[in-house]
Structure 1
Amino acid sequence: MGTIRPVYFTDELKVGMTAFQSKTITETDIILFSAVSTDTNAIHLDEEYAKTTRFGTRIVQGFLTASLISSALANRLPGPGTIFLGQNMRFLAPVHPGDTVTATLTVLDVDYVKNKVRIETVCTVGDKRVVEGEALVLAPPRPKE
């Protein structure tokens, strides 16, 4: 098997570049994420309990929603070989089972010497922002020939 080429090497990145990753969150996603993360909060898994909360129904784990940011960084921009250095985020609105979440990345700054890239990270459901923040990543440098 050959080497997987990143979508973008550091020297190809420019301020303003964008990428998107979308996924519809299924019941299976919620259950598997609960198992892997051990986040078994009843608000995610028990409809009867969730009806008694301020949301009135089950909501998706915040970090399951935000995991689309990691997916977009690893698969879209910069792509394979990207290393997460940091992330700040705010959770703005709940996501519900069956919602389609879109993670949008926008390059804010590129340090071509250190291969560091600052990226705005936003997750939406339709036109509604549900997560927003900023990531700092180490982008893959172009291999020396």
Structure 2
Amino acid sequence: MSEQPRVLVWSELKEGMTVSLPFRIGQSEMDTFRKLSGDSSRIHIDAEFARSRGFSGPVVYGALTVARLSHLVGMHLPGDLGLATSWRIDFNKPLYIDEEATFNGELTHVSQSTHTVSLKFRVYAGEKLIASGTAGSKLLDE
């Protein structure tokens, strides 16, 4: 059974709300993304090549990290009534296949007049900051 989206209405959205979502990207997700995107860059699929360039192994596709942002925004904060309007992400360190990671988001602005929200997020693997950025969403009518 798949996860049901959280449905938050305006009266429930408050600046400072947070969500923390653990995740892991496995080889099957990497293979599926490679097939979907057509991106067969060696840094993502060839362990020996990745190690020869100073990495511990193949680097997870950045778009798979962005997919977790989609999960956070569409399922949790703001949830089912939210429609993404902007995303900005900075990649700081590589994420590796099967590495435990956590996506942390915080609601930083709620505008009743424009029916929009802003959030900031950080992605960690242990203490290592993988990525950070901001996202904006418009809340659809209830």
8 A contact 1:20–1:76 mirrored in 2: no
8 A contact 1:59–1:95 mirrored in 2: yes
TM-score (norm: length of structure 1)? 0.87
After TM superposition, where is structure 1 displaced by more than 3 Å over at least 4 residues in a row?
Answer: none
Question: SS state of the match for residue 93, structure 1?
Answer: coil
Once the two structures are superposed, what CA deviation does each residue of 1:10-55 show, in whole Å capped at 9, x if it has no partner?
Answer: 3321000011222111100111111222222111111122222132
Q: Name stretches of at least 5 consecutive residues in structure 2 with no aligned partner.
A: none
TM-score (norm: length of structure 2)? 0.89
Aligned sequence identity (%): 24
**CA RMSD, aligned part only?**
1.7
2:74 is matched with: 74
Q: How does 1:12-31 map to 2 (within 5 A)?
A: 12-31=12-31
Q: 1:140 to 1:18 in 2, by over 3 A?
A: farther
Q: 1:73 to 1:5 in 2, by over 3 A?
A: closer
2:58 is matched with: 58
Q: In structure 2, how many angstroms separate the alpha carbons of the residues matched to 1:63 and 1:37?
A: 10
Question: Aligned pairs, how many?
Answer: 139
Q: Name stretches of at least 5 consecutive residues in structure 1 with no aligned partner.
A: none
One-letter amino acid of the counterpart of residue 20, structure 2 = F
